[in-house]
A = this chain, B = another copy of it.
């Protein structure tokens, strides 16, 4: 496997190069220090995989990824980073990067490279665990700061399902007037003007 490594910290590139090459499975024909290097070295060496840092001074790994993939749609690019950032994850996935690894996980890098080389995409578990959140984003909105009680919550949910006060009163075995009172107080607590805004609020937070 030919791997080109890009990182603006020379310590990282040389450490990675050493680790990978001692495995005997990897050759590192070149290392670079920013996004511009990434593009240049990718073109020059056409490595099996480009392993690049995300955050770099001149040109970021994401920008480089974008440019390289535009020209070589089959390029296999693995992004390295030291910390997690939702934005990066989503952007990287959209761009078509083959994965996203934490630099610190030295032991993971080689198996990941092999998986990518064989055509898979690889992600740190911490990253995958975020995807469901990003996908369906159902992190149960916290109403606690608004002093919303159980009854009110039920009503919020029913309103947000499009039910009328009459419908709600039947479902909860309350009088319609009571439902109106609850709703009125909910709107007051949340600083909203009407049930439609409540439903919108609900969907924006769920």
Contact = CB atoms under 8 A, between A and B. Distances in A.
A195 interface: yes
Interface residues on A, range: 35 or more
B128 A121 contact: yes
A70 to B, nearest CB: 16
A144 interface: no
Copies of this chain held together in the complex: 2
A162 B120 contact: no
A50 interface: no
Interface in A176-204: 192-197, 199-200, 203-204
A120 B108 CA distance: 7
A120 B129 contact: no
B124 A118 contact: no
Interface of A: 90, 93-94, 96, 98, 101, 105, 107-108, 111-112, 114-115, 117-125, 127-129, 131-132, 134-136, 159-162, 164, 192-197, 199-200, 203-204
